[in-house]
Chain A
Amino acid sequence: MNREIAVVAFAQTDHRRTSEELSEVELLMPVLHDVLARTGLRTADLDFVCSGSSDYLAGRAFSFTLALDGVGAWPPISESHVEMDGAWALYEAWTKLRTGDADTALVYAYGKSSPGSLRDVLTRQLDPYYVAPLWPDSVALAALQAQALIDAGDTDEPALAAVAARNRENATANPHAQLRGPVPHGDHVVRPLRRGDCAPVGDGAAAVILAAGERARALTERPAWIRGIDHRVEAHGLGVRDLTDSPSTRLAAEHAGAFERPVDTAELHAPFTSQEIVLRKALRLGDGVRVNPSGGALAAHPVMAAGLIRIGEAAARIHRGASDRALAHATSGPCLQQNLVAVLEGDPR
């Protein structure tokens, strides 16, 4: 069935280094209420609910089931969860709406990185036979990619610092961001990456509401239509991949229709400055494209929600008329292993 699907509402928390006074559901609930209030929908009106999070962040099994308390799962609801960034939960919800099984869906995602050590936690997503026993942390793996880019002549340390500065300058207009304005670029964390090249570690949550066709028009003045969405993964072996390129991003973008016409805005999920260099190249983004007007992941990076936030930020710009055609990107895994691209459009004005 070829139905038009749109993002009709987006909400997010303020992203902070720690939210220790809140349980996960306490963190999430205000965002759920906010996103519902924007459409006037009630939980009982939603045809489908899908969420993204990871138990490894909290260190507790099935922690996502408790988050459901914030949705209100009685009477029983149609619900699903992905142990991934909420962008992939949105993909599942989009599929559900495309089939005609649902007209509306709530997608939410949250991550509390503060209870643990994120660099160590993320090692547990690596190949358990050849890589994870060496405990290479997320910054180390990104630094290998950054050095490969420097060796290839694609960037250098001053260019990386400029990426950081521009994103955090953009974030001054984002009240939810964790890092805003000038931030010291700092010492090397793992050379060649400095503190300022890395996304902040923090806690946060986000939610969007999707709706199909006329339902979307009834719920919001200017729906952000998802014209295409696709995601692709590359080999898990880091030494198999060309770390200076992101063929999975390019392929996803092609299938999402990103190259058919220029976009005016791109929200890229690049937790490291070097990854923005890779993504701009893979997505052929020219100078005319506004990249990360929200400040991107370098300004706020609640793990498991940061990708969904890229889609939400892109959609929100369309909602308020700041963009007509926007690209949103989400990533997962080390060194941009898996990538999702969505193309969003507003109705012609």
Chain B
Amino acid sequence: MPDVLKAPLVVEFPFTRSLGPVQSAFLTGLRERVVLGVRTTDGRTLVPPAEYDPVTAEEIRDLVEVAPTGTVTTWAWNHAPRRGQPLDTPFAWVLVRLDGADTALLHALDAPGPDAVRTGMRVRVRWAAERSGAITDIACFEPYDGGPAQPDGHCGDFADPVTGIVAPARLDYTYTPGRAQTAHLDALAERRIVGERCPSCRKVYVPPRGACPTCGVATSERVEVGPRGTVTTFCIVNIKARGLDIEVPYVYAHIALDGADLALHGRIGGIPYDRVRMGLRVEPVWTGGARHPDHYRPTGEPDADYDTYRELL
């Protein structure tokens, strides 16, 4: 296998979601240690509650309190809990039909081992010590020997309802850019810029992605391009990006490196922003240990003739 670059890639996002009236009541209820279901017009009680009947698609919002006790309808023993799951010791995933409900809720059951779990067993909610109005306000379920607990008949009205949730999500990847981009990145580390030539149309693509987007065939012939190039078009940036240490206004340009058939992007420096023009001849400026040019500056050559880069606009 050829050597390919790889690097950790973490994708993380705090998904912020608003709640509808039924979801809001349900999650607020959990904060207050009350479990609410919603009644359908044919008299079934859905827990967790939906805003639309999953059978008829009718809008429903008749909230009813159900018991925090219930019966396991199916289960699965999880001997190796994963990040983010409700318990960090081995536990059972369970679907639980709470007393008073007609559908089942997914959660975790804290039990000593798989032999202590069976379909039909009785369980009750273990509340989280700190509750915010989220499904995780139920810490988990635990075995329970008794009959149905008697709910208080809460109607779902709360003084201070939660109206949204923040559900953080994180996924970890190992990113590998593939053969073509690895070669490009390796060359950048040596302050060279390489593209790849299409065997069919002979165009040189930079940065190369391994395929000619026009012909749909693999590119493989590596071609060194630049270092000098021509500004084909540009814009003047007037708004400072957060965390970016570049004074505005500055110029961001498409630069057709000599020998390339596709322009790439770069910042133009070393010249007042209002003197940058199409046809300006530029060269890369490498700074520190950066793996790509920091910016491009004028070479002092005469401007390129329009006809030499008109196809690259």
A residues with CB within 8 A of B:
20-26, 29, 32-33, 43, 56, 58-60, 66, 68-74, 114-117, 119-121, 123-124, 128-137, 140-141, 143-148, 151, 188, 190-193, 235, 237-240, 243
Kindly state the separation between the CA atoms of A115 and B10 in the bound complex, as whole angstroms: 11
Distance of B217 from chain A, by nearest CB (Å): 7
- Known contacts A23-B177, A72-B214; A239/B108 CB under 8 A: no
Which residue on B lies nearest to A23, using beta carbons? B178
Q: Are A237 and B173 in contact (CB under 8 A)?
A: no
Query: Which of B70-78, B153-161, B222-230, B252-260 is the contact stretch?
Result: B70-78
Kindly state the separation between the CA atoms of A246 and B172 in the bound complex, as whole angstroms: 33
- Known contacts A134-B108, A148-B74, A237-B46; A121/B211 CB under 8 A: no
Q: B97, B119, B177: which contacts A151 (Cβ < 8 A)? A: B119
Q: Are B178 and A120 in contact (CB under 8 A)?
A: no
Query: What sequence of 0s and 1s flags, for each residue 82-100 of chain B, a beta carbon within 8 Å of any chain A beta carbon?
Result: 1111100000011101000
Given contacts A117-B171, A238-B106, 4 further A-B contacts (CB under 8 A): A23-B210, A188-B79, A191-B77, A237-B46
Q: Is B188 an interface residue (CB 8 A)?
A: no
Q: Are A135 and B85 in contact (CB under 8 A)?
A: yes
CB contacts (< 8 Å) of B23 on chain A: these are 129
Q: Are A29 and B218 in contact (CB under 8 A)?
A: yes
The A-contacting residues of B in range 48-89, CB under 8 angstroms, are 48, 50, 54-55, 73-79, 82-86
B residues with CB within 8 A of A:
1-2, 4, 6, 9, 11, 15, 17, 19, 23, 27, 46-48, 50, 54-55, 73-79, 82-86, 93-95, 97, 103-108, 114, 119, 134-136, 165, 167, 169, 171-181, 209-218
Which residue on A lies nearest to B55, using beta carbons? A235
Distance of B174 from chain A, by nearest CB (Å): 5
Q: Are A130 and B106 in contact (CB under 8 A)?
A: yes
Q: Are A115 and B176 in contact (CB under 8 A)?
A: yes
Kindly state the separation between the CA atoms of A66 and B209 in the bound complex, as whole angstroms: 8
CB contacts (< 8 Å) of B218 on chain A: these are 26, 29
Distance of A190 from chain B, by nearest CB (Å): 5
Q: Are A120 and B82 in contact (CB under 8 A)?
A: yes
Q: Are A26 and B75 in contact (CB under 8 A)?
A: no
- Known contacts A22-B179, A59-B9; A147/B119 CB under 8 A: yes
Kindly state the separation between the CA atoms of A116 and B6 in the bound complex, as whole angstroms: 13
Q: Are A29 and B211 in contact (CB under 8 A)?
A: yes
Residue contacts A-B, CB under 8 angstroms, 13 given: A22-B178, A24-B178, A68-B213, A71-B216, A72-B217, A73-B213, A129-B17, A129-B27, A134-B108, A134-B136, A144-B94, A148-B74, A190-B79
CB contacts (< 8 Å) of A193 on chain B: these are 76
Q: A23, A114, A128, A151: which contacts B17 (Cβ < 8 A)? A: A128
Which residue on B lies nearest to A193, using beta carbons? B76
Q: Are A20 and B179 in contact (CB under 8 A)?
A: no
- Known contacts A130-B48, A134-B106, A136-B93; A147/B74 CB under 8 A: yes
CB contacts (< 8 Å) of B78 on chain A: these are 140, 190
Kindly state the separation between the CA atoms of A21 and B181 in the bound complex, as whole angstroms: 10
CB contacts (< 8 Å) of A21 on chain B: these are 1-2, 4, 176, 178-179
CB contacts (< 8 Å) of B215 on chain A: these are 72
Which residue on B lies nearest to A33, using beta carbons? B217
Kindly state the separation between the CA atoms of A228 and B176 in the bound complex, as whole angstroms: 40
In the A-B complex, the 5 residue pairs with the closest CB atoms? A23-B178, A72-B216, A239-B104, A143-B76, A135-B84
Q: Are A128 and B167 in contact (CB under 8 A)?
A: yes
Q: Are B171 and A23 in contact (CB under 8 A)?
A: no
Which residue on B lies nearest to A127, using beta carbons? B48
Kindly state the separation between the CA atoms of A288 and B255 in the bound complex, as whole angstroms: 65
Which residue on A lies nearest to B138, using beta carbons? A134
- Known contacts A115-B9, A131-B106, A237-B103; A120/B167 CB under 8 A: no
Kindly state the separation between the CA atoms of A23 and B106 in the bound complex, as whole angstroms: 37
Kindly state the separation between the CA atoms of A116 and B73 in the bound complex, as whole angstroms: 32
- Known contacts A128-B167, A151-B74; A190/B106 CB under 8 A: no
Q: A23, A43, A56, A120: which contacts B181 (Cβ < 8 A)? A: A23
CB contacts (< 8 Å) of A140 on chain B: these are 76, 78, 93
CB contacts (< 8 Å) of A114 on chain B: these are 174
Q: Are B17 and A115 in contact (CB under 8 A)?
A: no
Chain B CB within 10 A, most for which of A69, A135, A141: A69
CB contacts (< 8 Å) of B27 on chain A: these are 129
Distance of A243 from chain B, by nearest CB (Å): 7
CB contacts (< 8 Å) of B107 on chain A: these are 134
- Known contacts A20-B4, A124-B171, A129-B17; A237/B213 CB under 8 A: no
CB contacts (< 8 Å) of B211 on chain A: these are 25-26, 29, 69-70
Kindly state the separation between the CA atoms of A14 and B50 in the bound complex, as whole angstroms: 43
Q: A121, A129, A239: which contacts B103 (Cβ < 8 A)? A: A239
Q: Are A29 and B216 in contact (CB under 8 A)?
A: yes
Q: Are B74 and A144 in contact (CB under 8 A)?
A: yes
Q: A23, A58, A70, A190: which contacts B179 (Cβ < 8 A)? A: A23
Kindly state the separation between the CA atoms of A58 and B174 in the bound complex, as whole angstroms: 9
Q: Are B210 and A26 in contact (CB under 8 A)?
A: yes
Kindly state the separation between the CA atoms of A97 and B9 in the bound complex, as whole angstroms: 40
CB contacts (< 8 Å) of A70 on chain B: these are 211, 216
Which residue on A lies nearest to B1, using beta carbons? A21
